[in-house]
Amino acid sequence: MDLTKKINQIITLIILGLIWGSSFILMKKGLNSYPPIEITLYRIFIVFMVFFPLGIRDFFKIQKKTALILLLSAIIGSVIPYFLFIKAQTKIDSSLNGILNSITPLFTLVFGILLFKEKTNLKAIIGVILGLIGASGLIILSKGDAPWTGSYLYAILPVIGSGCYALNINLIKNYLKDIPALKITSWSFIFIGPIAGLILFFYTDFTTHLLTKDENYINFLYINILGVLGSGFAFWLFNLLIKETSSVFASTVTYLIPIIAIFWGVFDGEIFNLFQGILCLVIFGGIYLIKSK
């Protein structure tokens, strides 16, 4: 796909939104049989297995500085946020988890300006603010009349995870821009995949849970989809998008995530009202402003 064309950028953004927006319901299903740490480790390990043949050929030619950045990118962009989001899923709704992910563009813009001296414009700032307003409104509506309890403190975890994603976006845009997206993806998981597999199979009860708690292996299927599509394929597409657009625009995929998460909620019997629809339009308006020159 030629991502220099605006229409292809939009299509890629929508595909990523669909994949990542659906990942939270997959986490929810996987948690029926596996604890958060096992899902996190298996998610990393399965992507490593898929991308290993694509990246191992040139892996040992990586320069030391690039290797350090790739390792840092893998930890910040995969290991930490994967665990934070799945851990939050044990206490908060999947839709709220997805909604909180939409804070990423705000962090991306702030990190880009403060840490990487990137320039921006008033439209982009207004766009991020609009998206944040829309996402915040969806959070409030998803809470409804329920009281603020200790469970909602877990909402801090996906906020931190969103900050990790934002920092990783800036790392890729500023330090890995000359490396093809496929190599970034494969090399990142080659660094962390073997360690994740070692811990998973020798220091957790993953095998026991697979054999005794997963009826018909349906939840195992869910976490495989989560890993291969939600981590591997989507991460590769996302890296492509970062390289061909701005880091802030690429991060606006997280504005689409709550919309998809809400759709899954409706599919599961939840109510989607007019106010939520209006807030979704506000989010789309923010994406348009960030993308416009």
- Enter the pTM of the model: 0.85
- CA dihedral for 89, 95, 100, 102, sign (positive or negative): positive
82 and 44 Cβ atoms separated by less than 8 Å: yes
Say if 214 falls within a structural domain.
yes
In a domain, 45, yes or no: yes
Query: Which residues constitute the domain of residue 31?
Result: 6-291
Our count of domains for the chain comes to 1
pLDDT in tens, 192-251: 999 999 999 999 999 999 999 887 799 999 999 999 998 888 888 888 887 777 777 777
- The answer to whether residue 74 is domain-embedded is yes
| Cα–Cα distance, 39 to 171 (Å, whole number) | 26
- And the tokens for 172? 């890729």
**121/115 Cα distance (integer angstroms):** 17
Structural contact between residues 292 and 128, judged by C-beta atoms closer than 8 angstroms: no
d(CA 55, CA 66): 15
Residue whose structure tokens are 């349906």: 218
1 found inside a domain: no
In a domain, 49, yes or no: yes
pLDDT lower than 70: segments of the chain: 1-2, 139, 141-153, 270-272, 291-293
* Cβ pair 250, 169 in contact under 8 A: yes
Percent of the chain with pLDDT over 90: 37
In whole angstroms, give the CA distance from residue 68 to residue 59: 13
Residue 43 lies in a domain: yes
Q: Is residue 71 part of a domain?
A: yes
In whole angstroms, what is the distance from residue 97 CA to residue 86 CA? Answer: 9
What's the CA gap between 133 and 289, in Å, rounded? 14
**Nearest in space to 191 (alpha carbons), one of 42, 286, 97, 78:** 78
Matching residue, tokens 């191992």 = 56
pLDDT for residue 92: 78
